[in-house]
């Protein structure tokens, strides 16, 4: 199968509303993303949709930035369950080869927008939404109704990418907090400094130092504490608990490519592969060798699978 990462982002104009109604609007965010995705996949592909989703509420500067990451198969059983729908490919050009294609992201963004806005109005009408000024909310929704909402679709980095690779990538954002310890620089004189990606497009990929007062740093960190009992990872469609068994059975029967199971023998060479050790660095001031106490890397989607941080299990899968 070919898998895609789809990211649904809530407009910043609704950030404050979401913070005041976390349970209701985070739940609506999951529901709107899935409803839009399911509709597009059924209409454009004629395929049974499935998705594994994760809620992410922060950006590099710890601002409130709620969005949904979804792992989505690009091929699967048809809606009637009688045939296999292969992944679509772009036409390609002389300079660019064909690439896997899921659905029209602009149309998907429109659907996501319409479902979410309708959901907000429904919650308000039934008295399940806390709003300071309903007139301001209505004006904001009217403006957002006329704009394009951001939905990002990213295909697999290589032809060899597998679902377990993507799941391990997403797992990094389930187990950790809003900021890794490795990004912290200092806590001095009541201020906290840490590294963040530059927002300057001309300095894409570069890191810059960000400093907040201790109180502001703590305020931003606590923005990302989810309501008690709220589930931040959810499965929909063919991957939902109720449908998973039947969906897998259909995939096994219809898929033209054999599906590996947990019974497939592991490559014996995997255990022999180890990550390269970083070179020992010296302090630029006293030239004493520095000891690395901890390191947490969160490389990007493409870099994780095909860059210098390529994991051992990926190298093993690709080269046999």
Q: Which of 108-122, 193-207, 257-271 has the lowest mean pLDDT?
A: 257-271
pLDDT at 167 over 80: no
Task: Name 109's Cβ contacts closer than 8 Å, sequence gap at least 6.
Answer: 148, 149, 150, 151
**Average pLDDT for 17-30:** 97
Radius of gyration of the chain (CA): 22
Q: Give me the pLDDT at residue 308, please.
A: 55
pLDDT at 271 over 60: no
pLDDT at 98 over 60: yes
Q: Give me the pLDDT at residue 139, please.
A: 97
Q: Give me the pLDDT at residue 270, please.
A: 41
Q: Give me the pLDDT at residue 275, please.
A: 42
Q: Give me the pLDDT at residue 172, please.
A: 73
Helices (H), 128-179: 134-145, 163-175
Average predicted confidence (pLDDT) for the chain: 85
**Average pLDDT for 258-270:** 47
**Average pLDDT for 9-38:** 97
**Average pLDDT for 68-92:** 93
**Average pLDDT for 88-99:** 86
pLDDT at 299 over 70: no
Burial-class residue 313 by CB neighbours within 10 Å (0-12, 13-18, 19+).
middle
Highest mean pLDDT out of 145-154, 195-204, 291-300: 145-154
Q: In the β-sheet with 233-237, what is the strand arrangement from edge to edge?
A: 151-154, 3-9, 64-73, 50-58, 233-237
CA–CA separation, 279 and 88 (whole Å): 44
Q: Give me the pLDDT at residue 289, please.
A: 76
Confidence of residue 303 (pLDDT cuts 50, 70, 90): low
CA distances from 190 to 179, 213, 216, 224 (A): 19, 6, 10, 22
Higher pLDDT, residue 176 or 184: 184
Q: What is the pTM of this model?
A: 0.78
Domains along the chain with CATH numbers: 1-177+227-264 (3.40.1310), 179-223 (no CATH), 267-320 (no CATH)
Measure the N-to-C terminal CA separation of the chain; round to a whole number of Å. 18
**Long-range CB contacts for residues 172-178, cutoff 8 Å, separation at least 24:** 172/298, 173/54, 173/56, 173/69, 173/298, 174/54, 174/232, 174/233, 176/296, 177/221, 177/224, 178/57, 178/58, 178/62, 178/220, 178/221, 178/224
Q: Give me the pLDDT at residue 276, please.
A: 41
**Average pLDDT for 141-167:** 84
Q: Which of 23-32, 172-181, 247-256 has the lowest mean pLDDT?
A: 172-181
Q: Which of 20-29, 31-40, 94-103, 230-239 has the lowest mean pLDDT?
A: 94-103
């Amino acid at each position: 199968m070919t898998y895609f990462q789809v990211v649904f982002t809530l407009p910043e104009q609704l950030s404050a509303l979401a913070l005041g109604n976390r349970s209701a609007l985070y739940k609506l965010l999951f529901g709107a993303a899935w409803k839009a995705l399911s509709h597009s996949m059924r209409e454009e592909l004629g395929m049974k949709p499935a998705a594994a989703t994760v809620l992410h509420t922060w950006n590099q500067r710890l601002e409130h930035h709620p969005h949904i990451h979804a792992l989505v198969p690009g091929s699967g059983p048809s809606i009637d369950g009688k045939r296999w729908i292969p992944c679509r490919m772009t036409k390609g050009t002389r300079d660019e080869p064909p690439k896997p294609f899921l659905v029209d992201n602009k149309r998907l963004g429109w659907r996501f927008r319409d479902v979410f806005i309708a959901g907000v109005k429904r919650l308000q009408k039934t008295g399940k939404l806390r709003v300071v000024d309903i007139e301001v909310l209505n004006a904001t929704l009217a403006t957002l109704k006329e704009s394009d909402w951001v939905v990002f679709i990213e295909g697999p980095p290589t032809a060899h990418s597998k679902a377990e690779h993507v799941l391990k990538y997403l797992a990094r954002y389930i187990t950790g907090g809003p900021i890794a310890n490795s990004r912290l620089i200092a806590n001095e004189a009541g201020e906290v400094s840490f590294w963040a990606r530059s927002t300057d497009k001309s300095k894409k990929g570069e890191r810059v130092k960000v400093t907040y007062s201790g109180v502001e740093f703590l305020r931003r960190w606590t923005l990302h504490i989810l309501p008690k009992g709220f589930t931040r990872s959810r499965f929909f469609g063919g991957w939902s608990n109720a449908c998973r068994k039947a969906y897998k059975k259909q995939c096994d029967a219809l898929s033209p490519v054999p599906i590996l199971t947990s019974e497939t023998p592991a490559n014996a060479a995997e255990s022999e592969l180890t990550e390269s050790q970083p070179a020992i660095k010296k302090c630029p001031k006293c030239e004493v060798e520095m000891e690395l106490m901890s390191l947490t890397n969160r490389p990007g989607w493409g870099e994780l699978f095909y860059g210098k941080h390529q994991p051992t299990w990926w190298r093993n899968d690709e080269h046999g």
